[in-house]
Structure 1
């Protein structure tokens, strides 16, 4: 279990990939606020995932994809809201993630309170883009995208 210190402390930590760090929702929010320069995600089981910065070519592709979504959004603003990779979503299964680009329908966005719109958004996006790098296997990335858009059955 990760304890939240009463006084902020900065440490450098190297974690082998064989070690899983688990955090609560509250701890995840505190880590995200204190480390805005990192792309952090949290699985439904509470495992902390730190996504490293991309390389130049991946960054260029991500900018292009985000730009294409932005151009579409500008022409169809009444349909919903578009987001970049800095936006966090809390999924119904408890996972917290930041897709490379995403979109939420107007009705679902407008149903959120102002407080929900300001924080980590408590819903699955309607549309998600995840940029696949050379080292990413397709199946896990597809599963990740399905998780990010899966809504609970009503």
Structure 2
């Protein structure tokens, strides 16, 4: 009863804090994809980069995007990132 259910979300979002190690979070996102997630965003406010993880595709690195779209995994879901970069 103290175990987690063997589930994996379709979408994962990680927001890097100043104390987090980027490599650790990147490995965590890759592990989610390896276990069935379809979309993952790793947002690093310090560097201004967003790492987009998609099933069967190389990691996409975006420089200070103003928004992110969850399509096609989350149709119509768009996140405004302008406040993060301020």
Identify the structure with the greater strand proportion: 2
TM-score normalised by the chain length of structure 1: 0.20
- Of structures 1 and 2, the one with the larger relative CO (CA 8 A, separation 6+) is 2
> Max radius of gyration: which structure?
1
TM-score normalised by the chain length of structure 2: 0.33
Identify the structure with the greater helix proportion: 1
